[in-house]
Structure 1
């Protein structure tokens, strides 16, 4: 679901980025008001969960791959505004360091995965939980919220892909950016998410929330005991398991490189050309592209990438926490 650069026109990217600005602004304000400096590191933990979850690629129908995001998970644990910030920072690290998702398309990716997914997933969860105040009702909300959240995010990405050939063509009528219309992009994105990726999102969400409720209920419930050591242990375990994401072969739909898209078959027909906007568009060289490290075996590079990504996210939110003001107006760490 990570839209690469040059699949969306620069103007589309600008619109999506502009749409996210007020969302980020409100989210930052809410986080400042609602998250204490003691709980600020939890945003780093949440971002790490999302980052690692997105490294577990699974095979999807049609020979492509996909992944869970953890947006509803973070919204339930931290609140939707905190989830928005955590997922946005995780997506930024993925784009800058690993080339997973575009730089220009960052706003669009955040709109789908850091806005639609956590907010919709959370409000579905809350709606069901409030009307069925029992553990069964809570888990029904978790399942439906996480499943529908990621599927609506996939639908949004499909629409963003599909409007490109309608709006942006060259003089010969060929698409300049994503060449697949809505009739292709919508089923190609939504069907695999409905059948597989949505189920994976549910499994991740339910499993991690159940684990956290057992070992550190204070992360979810006010007044209960909070044990972050067990949560860090889970993060370490997930890092060790990330190479499982390498078992899924194939490229995610809509994430082909310019050199391979001309050979992609859709409806039995090979595209046969590279859209001009892709061929001559924006280029950015990530430090560890595709979670690989030059000179290291693929598995070792994947694990090292996971360690680096998680460490950076934890450090970022730790630093933010040290700068956060106390209620008396002093910066944390100052007397």
Structure 2
């Protein structure tokens, strides 16, 4: 789902930039509750989790691969605005340091995975869970369905962006200038991968974490749902520290991240120009715009996460998580300095009342 540079026209990228700037600005405003409180580590963990989980490529029957994003889970725990910030940070680090997704098209990738995914996932989750108790199985199902629908909505958005390029931007003879895929090709290819495989992975991942937190740390589920009823039996349990558990999970994911290399092939629409099957798409040559912009950003630290080496893949995961932590800390510091210490009610996705066990969140 990571669109590389050259596959979207500069005009398309400009449109998404104009659309995303106010979204990022509003997201920064709305997460002031997070960055001015003990929840900063959770935002950093969310961004790092999204970064690492996107390194795990899952094989698709057509020979390509796809991956989960984790944006729905972050939205459920911290709110969709925090999900937008966390996933945007992960995507930015992937583009700048590892060449996973383009820099020019970063706003488009952010729109798909940091806006469409978390907001759709959160909306479906809220619709299905309604006022069910935080420990209800209904919330597990709602989280799974929300994550599944959110990821597929993001995939559909990317498919449409790809598929419109040949019709909107082409030479006089009809040859495409950028992505050569038409809607009849992009929608089936993208939706097969995400409806059948990646969406299922996203759903299982989200449901598993929600189910675990229902047993181990219900107050963490209550950060973004303070008015939801909570069963007495769960309140009396000793919560597990989310920061410690999250760090342990990230370490495990980083160590096993080379498993993502086992999936053969690449994701649809992410081929380098030299790997593009010209005959398959009835092309006589690589589209000129694609060839021109594909190497726009040539300053990646570890291109392709080290180009296939297991230890380089692990190093990429560690470096990415470290940079994300530093960036989130810098963002939190900057917003505190810019906005002052007060948190206004309008900045919150929900009223900030995390009762019964809130103190455990800082452990």
Tell me, yes or no, whether TM beats 0.5.
yes
> Which is further off, 214-223 or 284-293?
214-223
Which range is displaced more, 57-66 or 133-142? 133-142
The equivalences for 1:55-74 within 5 A come to: 55-74=55-74
2:141–2:207 contact (8 Å) kept in structure 1: no
Q: 2:152·2:195 contact (CA, 8 Å) conserved in 1? A: yes
Question: Structure 2 vs 1, CA of residues 54 and 20 (structure 1 numbering), >3 Å: closer, same or farther?
Answer: same
Asked if the contact 2:51/2:90 (under 8 Å) is kept, the reply is: yes
Aligned in 2, Cα 1:211/1:310: closer, same or farther, shift over 3 Å? farther
Structure 2: gaps (5+ residues): 227-234, 343-363
Q: CA RMSD in A?
A: 2.2
Instruction: Specify the SS of the correspondent of 2:154.
Output: helix
Instruction: Quote the offset at 1:193 in angstroms.
Output: 0.8
Cα displacement (A) at 1:322: 4.1
1:82-97 matches, within 5 Å, as: 82-97=82-97
1:255 alignment counterpart? 270
Give per-residue Cα distances to partners, 1:19-39, cap 9 Å, x unaligned.
111111111110114553321
1:169 alignment partner, SS class: coil
Per the alignment, residue 30 of structure 1 pairs with: 30
8 Å contact 1:28–1:85 — kept in the other structure? yes
Candidates 239, 260, 280, aligned match of 2:292 = 280
TM-score for both structures, normalised by structure 1: 0.91
How high is the TM-score relative to the length of structure 2?
Answer: 0.84
Structure 1 stretch displaced more, 150-159 or 213-222: 213-222
Q: Does the 8 Å CA contact 1:93/1:309 hold for their aligned counterparts?
A: yes
Paired residues, what number? Answer: 324
Superposed CA offset, 1:16-65 (max 9, x none): 11111111111111011455332112111000110011001000121100
Q: Secondary structure at the match of 2:139?
A: helix
Which structure 2 residues correspond to residues 1-335 of structure 1 after superposition, within 5 A? 1-33=1-33, 35-130=35-130, 132-133=132-133, 135-222=136-223, 225=239, 227=241, 228-263=243-278, 265=280, 271-283=283-295, 284-285=297-298, 286-292=300-306, 298-325=309-336, 329=340
- 2:36 touches 2:341 (CA, 8 Å); kept in 1? no
Q: Which runs of 4+ in 1 moved over 6 A?
A: none
Secondary structure of 1:186's counterpart equals helix
Structure 1: distance between partners of 2:119 and 2:279: 34
Deviation at 1:226, TM superposition (A): 5.9
Which blocks of at least 5 consecutive residues in structure 1 are unaligned? none
